[in-house]
Amino acid sequence: MVEIKSDAELDAMREAGRVVARALAAAREAAGVGVSLRELDEAARAVLDEAGATSPFLGYHPSFAPTPFPAVICASVNDAIVHGIPDGYRLRDGDLVSVDCGARLDGWTGDSALTFGVGTPRAGDTELMDATREALAAGIAAAVVGNRLGDISHAIGGVVRAARCGTPADFGGHGIGRQMHEDPPVPNRGRPRRGMPLRHGLVLAIEPMLMAGGRDGYCTDADGWTLRTTDGSRAAHFEHTVAITEEGPRVLTAL
């Protein structure tokens, strides 16, 4: 079931989104050569605690996972695409890190992700991140009243194809509100003018994931969570929670 939010509910979601933005900023600021992924999680967790928010990630247990997720962020490094578990791995010069974070505040949820390099950039990483940001921007620009869901997917997919990147077909964006994952799903490829009409008050988490090798295949680590590229190429992930409004897209997870 697709839930349409009132303007007051969008304002409440914006407050949850601000917490997510601050938590991501804290994780990124904490990152550096020698810093563990667990320390990034601790930095984000401190922001949630200070805001009186809880994590929709911590303890989340979807059907595909063997165990509940044990952290408040996903931290995915280099060839890891999404859902990486923050552990004792210490960041190295040249690592490419994607951090995904959510927050639940006063019954409403925000979800966002970013990718950044540590130390000296590796060849192609800047272009990969730029293409992923461009795909997110294209998806957000298509999130307007009068368009259809497929227009968002088509806009993202056009950037993916132009950049000669891959994207995991089984994973994409989603509706969001009182729960982190709500209807409708938002694929990162699709046909224009297809799918449900976009209405004022619909809120979507739009999240392109691009794989530099150009293939769409992925594999899952033994932990049952971490998705990796099958060819060892690097991946990037950017995401915002976005409300469709009569005035245009409203990004709820910006700082």
Mutual orientation of helices 125-141 and 149-162 as an angle, nearest 10°?
A: 160
| Short-list 43, 35, 28, 47, CA closest to 116 | 28
CA distance 39 to 157: 34
Q: What is the pLDDT of residue 232?
A: 97
In this predicted structure, the answer to whether residue 48 has a pLDDT above a threshold of 90 is: yes
- Antiparallel, parallel or unpaired: β 209-211 and 250-251: unpaired
Query: Which pLDDT band holds residue 204 (cuts at 50, 70, 90)?
Result: very high
Mean pLDDT for the stretch of residues 208-224: 97
pLDDT of residue 157: 98
pLDDT at 203: 98
φ and ψ of 78, to 5 deg: 60, -100
Of all residues in the chain, the percent with pLDDT exceeding 70 is 100
Question: What does the mean pLDDT of the chain come to?
Answer: 98
Label residue 169 by pLDDT band (50, 70, 90). confident
pLDDT of residue 43: 99
Reported as a pLDDT band with limits 50, 70 and 90, residue 131 is very high
Gap between the Cα atoms of 37 and 44, Å rounded:
11
Under 8 Å CB-to-CB from 215, ≥6 apart: which residues?
166, 229, 230, 231, 233
What's residue 67's pLDDT?
Answer: 97
* pLDDT for the residue numbered 65: 95
Tell me how far apart the terminal alpha carbons of the chain are, to the nearest angstrom.
Answer: 30
**What single-letter DSSP state applies at residue 121?**
P
Instruction: Examine the pLDDT at 19 and tell me if it is beyond 90.
Output: yes
Q: Average pLDDT, stretch 92-98? A: 98
Nearest by Cα to 131 from 115, 153, 111: 115
Is the pLDDT score of 109 beyond 90?
yes
Which residue(s) pair with 111 in the sheet? 102
